[in-house]
A and B are shown apart, each in its own frame.
Chain A
Amino acid sequence: MLFEFPRPAACRPAGARQILAALAAALALAAPGAELRIGNGGEPLTLDPHRYNLNLEEKLLADLFEGLTALDADGRVVPGAAESWNVAEDGLVWTFRLRRNGRWSDGAPVTAADFVYSFRRLLDPRTAASLAHFLYAIDGAAAVNGGKAPPANLGVRAVDARTLEIRLAKPFPFLAERLVYPTGYPVPKHVVEKLGDAWTKPGSMVSNGAFTLADWQPQGFVRLAKNPRFHAAQTVRLQAVRYYPTADRNAAYSRYRNGELDIIGDFPPGELDWLRRELPDHVRLSPLLSIMYLVFNVARPPFDDPRVRRALALALDRQLITSRVLESGEVPSPSFVPPLVAGYQSAVRPEGPDRDIARSLLAEAGYDAENSLRVTLRYIAGADSKKVQVAIAALWKSIGVETILHHAEMNAHFAELRQGNFEVAQAGWFGENNPEQYLELLMSTTGEVNYGRFADAQVDALMARAKETAQLDARLALLQQAEVQALALNPVVPLYSVTIRSLVRPDIDGWRANPRNIHPARYLGLSGD
C-alpha cells in the first residue's frame, strides 16, 4: 500500500527536537546570505535559448546568456557580448565588435563564429524554434527557416574572431533592441555539437552570461550560480539565485508573506490595499510594455459592420476597467501602440465612452430591444482576465448586448483565434519598444496573428512604406498615420497596458521597476553588501 513506502516522516507527530530543527531551518531561510529566492511564475519548458517560448524562460536565460546587446536594470538596451556596433548609411549592414574578454563558462572565448553558428541554428528548421521569426529581419532568414535555402545562405558573417556582420533585407532600425531576446543569444557550438539536445542539462550547459546552470529540479526550482568567467563578474554580487516555478500567485504570495521567497513577480490584486498599508516598501508596481485589446473577427457578420464594432467599442469605459476592476495602476490606452513605447506619439484621439451613440449605432445596424445582439467573447483562463471580461460583458449589457463568455487555456485560445474561430476575443501583445511590432498585427499580409483578418489597403500601403524607410522620424510618422487610419475602423479595441505587481524585500537593491519587467540578477544584491 502507498504508506509502506519509506518516505520522509511528515506525518509523525513532531517531537520537541523536530520542532527545534524546523525552527532552525526557518531561521536559516530567513537570512538569505548571497542567494536570492525568486518566484518566477511557472516552470520553464526549456532552457535552450533558441527553443524558448515563454517570458519566464526569458528571465532565466537573460541570467545565463548574453546576446550582442542586453537590457540593464532599468530595461534600457546596452552593449552585451558586443562592446559596440555601427550601422551602414542604408541601414542594411550592421557590424558588431565583440568584447575582448568574452568567455564561455568553460573558458573558451566567445567568437563571431559562435554567433554565426547560433543564428544559423535558430533559423534552421530542424531546430524547430518557435520564435525564429524574431530575426526574420536578417537577409535570407525567412527562406532558411522555411526550408527553402540552406542555413549558410543567412546574411550573417564572421569578419574576424571579434567582428560580426549582419546583413538585413530591409532597413530595420530596431535591430539592437531585437537582439536582446534569447533568440539572439549565442550557444556554445563546441558543446551543442558534442551533446546534442542534452546540452541544456545542469552540469552540461555552458553559457556566457553572469550565471551558470547549477541545478534544475523540474517543478521544484532552477538554481543558477555565479559565473566567475563572466566579463563583468567582479560586479556581480549574488553567489546564486533560485527561481521557483510559482504558477499560482496565491501560493507565491503566501510563501512570500511567510518569508520563503525574496521576490515575487505577481500577487493577488486584492492584497494591494493591505500591502500598501502594512508593507509599503515591499510593493513595486510597474506598467509593462504591452497592450491588452479586444479583437473583432471582421470576416464574420455582424462584425464586418463597422457600426457594430464602433458601438461595442464606445460602450467600454477603459478608465472604469483599469481603476475599479484592475486597480493596480494599469495604463488605459486608446491607442494600439502602448503609451509606454518611447519615442512614439500616438495620434489616435480618445473617444467615448458614449452609450447613447453606441445604442443608436446598434439601432442603425438593425439591433434593438426586440432583436438584441448576441456576442461570444473568448478569453484566456486567468483571474485578472476573467474580471475584465466579466466587466466588459456587464458594460455591453448596458447597451442591450448579450455576451456569452468562453474561456480556454492560453494555447488553445490562440489556436482558435489563429483559425478565425471566434467572434470577439481578448488578445494581448507583450512587445518591445517598437511601434511597428504592434501595428503589424493589423496588416493584411500578417496572416494568422492578424486574428480578425482585418484588411485595409491604405493601412497596408502606409505600413509598407514605413518598412522601406531607414530614417527613423519619417518611419515613425508613417506608422502614426497607419495607426489612425486603422483604428478609425475599429478592428480592435485597445484597452490597457498590463501592470506587473511585484513584491521585493526592502533590503534588496538593484531591482528597478521598468516597462520591460526585466530584472537581471547580475544587478541585484543585498543592501550593505
Chain B
Amino acid sequence: MTRYLLRRLAFALITLWVVVTVAFFLARAVPGGPFDGQRRLPPAVEANLRAAYHLDEPLLGQYVRYLGMLSRGDLGPSFRQKDFSVNELIAQGLPISLAVGGSALALALSLGVVGGTFAALARNRPRDRLLVVVATLGLAFPPIIVGPVLVLVFAVLLGWLPAGGYDSAKHYVLPVAALSLPYAAAFTRLARGSVAEVLARPHVRTARAKGLAPWRLVVRHVLPSALVPVISFAGPAAAALLAGSMVIEEVFSLPGLGRYFVQGALNRDYTLVTGAVVVYAALVLACNLLADLCHMRLEPRLRRG
C-alpha cells in the first residue's frame, strides 16, 4: 500500500512538473511582454526592469532559476502587481477559491449522495423519474447562466443576499449555489446508478427481505460500496470545477485564484500565471490523491495492490 501510494505521489509530482514546464514556456512564447503599455519605456528603464525580473538571462537559465525558486516554495515577484509577490497574492486569493470550490464540491457531493440514494430506493417510481429529470436539467444549467440569474433575483430584485464581495459567510451563498448545481446533478446521477447496482446484490437483497429499516440498510450495507465510484469521480470533478469557479469568481467579483489566473494571462504577468497554474495543478492532483486514498479505504481489495 505504501509503495502504491509512493508511486502515485511520484506520478503526481511528474505531472506537476510537466504542467509547470508547459505553462512556463507557453507564457514566454508570446509576442509582447509584461511591460508593454501605451508608451514604450525608455531603453534604460526597460533594461532595468528586465534585469530586476531576470528577463535578460537566457530562457533556459530563467527556467532553471524558476524551478529552483519553486522548490523553495517561492513563486517570485508579480510583474504587474508591483507591490506584491505572487506568494502574497495567492495567499490572499486561494482561501477564497477554496472556500467557494470546497463548499460547492461538498454541497454537490452531499446533495448528490442523498438525492441519488433516494432515487435509487424508489427506482422507476414517479419520484425517481422526477429526480432524474431534475438532475439532467441541472446539468443543462452551467454557472454562466445560473450565476447571473441568481444575482438578478436574490441580490438585485429581492435584496436578500449580497451581489459580490467576500466579507462574510452570506457572501458565499450565491456563488456556492451557482457553482454546485451542475455537479450536484452529476453526483446524483452517479450515486443513483451505483446505489441501484449495490441494492441489486444478493446480500443486500437478503437484508432488505429480512425487513431491515431502509436507512440502516443504506448506511450499513449499501453506501460503503456504492460510494466508491462517487468518491473516485470527486477527483476529476475538482478539476472540472476549476473552470466553473473562474466564471463564478468573475460573476460575483470574488478575488480568488481564478481571477488572478485570468487577469495574469491577459496581462502577461508570467509569474502570476505560472504560479496560479502551479497551485491549481497541485490542488487538483492532491484531490485525486485523496480520492485514491478514500477509494482504497472503501475498496479493501485495492489495499493489497
Touch test A–B (CB under 8 Å): yes
Question: CB-CB contacts of B39-65 with A at 8 A, as 1s and 0s?
Answer: 111111111110010000000000000
Residue of A nearest to B234 (CB): A1
Q: How far is the CA of A334 from the CA of B297 in the complex (A)?
A: 74
- Inter-chain contacts of B151 with A (CB < 8 A): 251, 254
Residue contact B103 to A3, C-beta cutoff 8 Å: yes
Can you report 10 A-B residue pairs in the complex whose CB atoms are below 8 A from each other? A1-B238, A7-B98, A7-B102, A11-B103, A43-B255, A48-B82, A128-B46, A219-B259, A409-B266, A448-B40
Residue contact B42 to A125, C-beta cutoff 8 Å: yes
Residue contact A132 to B42, C-beta cutoff 8 Å: yes
Q: Does B156 contact A (CB under 8 A)?
A: yes
- Inter-chain contacts of A218 with B (CB < 8 A): 81, 84, 88-89, 92-93, 255
Residue contact B81 to A9, C-beta cutoff 8 Å: no
Residue of B nearest to A25 (CB): B168
Q: How far is the CA of A128 from the CA of B35 in the complex (A)?
A: 10
Residue contact A128 to B48, C-beta cutoff 8 Å: yes
Q: Does A181 contact B (CB under 8 A)?
A: no
- Inter-chain contacts of B83 with A (CB < 8 A): 45-48, 197, 200-201, 216
- Inter-chain contacts of A514 with B (CB < 8 A): none
Q: Does A147 contact B (CB under 8 A)?
A: yes
Q: Does A76 contact B (CB under 8 A)?
A: no
Q: Does B192 contact A (CB under 8 A)?
A: no
Q: Does B36 contact A (CB under 8 A)?
A: yes
- Inter-chain contacts of A496 with B (CB < 8 A): none
Residue contact B48 to A125, C-beta cutoff 8 Å: yes
Q: How far is the CA of A220 from the CA of B260 in the complex (A)?
A: 12
Q: How far is the CA of A147 from the CA of B41 in the complex (A)?
A: 12
Comparing B66-74, B113-121, B130-138, B283-291, the segment that makes contact with chain A is B283-291
- Inter-chain contacts of A46 with B (CB < 8 A): 81-83
Q: Does A217 contact B (CB under 8 A)?
A: yes
> In the complex, how many residues of chain B place their beta carbon closer than 8 angstroms to a beta carbon of chain A?
74
A447 to chain B, nearest CB (A): 8
- Inter-chain contacts of B37 with A (CB < 8 A): 53, 130, 411, 414-415
Residue contact B165 to A145, C-beta cutoff 8 Å: no
Question: CB-CB contacts of B170-213 with A at 8 A, as 1s and 0s?
Answer: 11110010001000000000000000000000000000000000
A295 to chain B, nearest CB (A): 12
Q: How far is the CA of A246 from the CA of B252 in the complex (A)?
A: 10
Residue contact A22 to B238, C-beta cutoff 8 Å: no
Residues on B lying within 8 angstroms of A by beta carbon are 32, 35-49, 52, 80-84, 88-89, 92-93, 95, 98-107, 109, 151-152, 155-156, 159, 162-166, 168-173, 176, 180, 234, 238, 250-253, 255, 259-260, 263, 266-268, 283, 287, 290-291, 294
B76 to chain A, nearest CB (A): 14
Q: How far is the CA of A10 from the CA of B173 in the complex (A)?
A: 6
- Inter-chain contacts of B47 with A (CB < 8 A): 125
Residue contact A260 to B164, C-beta cutoff 8 Å: yes
Q: Does A366 contact B (CB under 8 A)?
A: no
Q: Does A133 contact B (CB under 8 A)?
A: yes
Q: Which chain A residues numbered 29 to 52 have a C-beta less than 8 Å away from chain B?
A: 43, 45-48, 51
| New contact pairs (17) apart from A3-B105, A45-B80, CB-CB < 8 Å | A1-B105, A1-B290, A18-B170, A22-B168, A22-B170, A46-B82, A130-B45, A145-B42, A218-B93, A220-B92, A220-B255, A247-B253, A251-B163, A252-B164, A411-B267, A415-B37, A418-B40
Residue contact B287 to A2, C-beta cutoff 8 Å: yes
Residue of A nearest to B81 (CB): A45
Residue of A nearest to B98 (CB): A5
Residue contact B36 to A414, C-beta cutoff 8 Å: yes
Residue among A126, A201, A449 with max Cβ neighbours from chain B (10 Å): A126
Which residue in B40, B48, B92 is a CB contact (below 8 Å) of A219?
Answer: B92
Q: How far is the CA of A71 from the CA of B253 in the complex (A)?
A: 31
Residue contact B42 to A146, C-beta cutoff 8 Å: yes
A7 to chain B, nearest CB (A): 4
Residue contact B42 to A248, C-beta cutoff 8 Å: no
Residue contact A254 to B165, C-beta cutoff 8 Å: no
Residue contact A10 to B162, C-beta cutoff 8 Å: no
4 closest Cβ contacts across the A-B interface?
Answer: A219-B255, A10-B172, A3-B106, A147-B44
Q: Does A129 contact B (CB under 8 A)?
A: yes
Residue of A nearest to B158 (CB): A258
Residue contact B45 to A128, C-beta cutoff 8 Å: yes
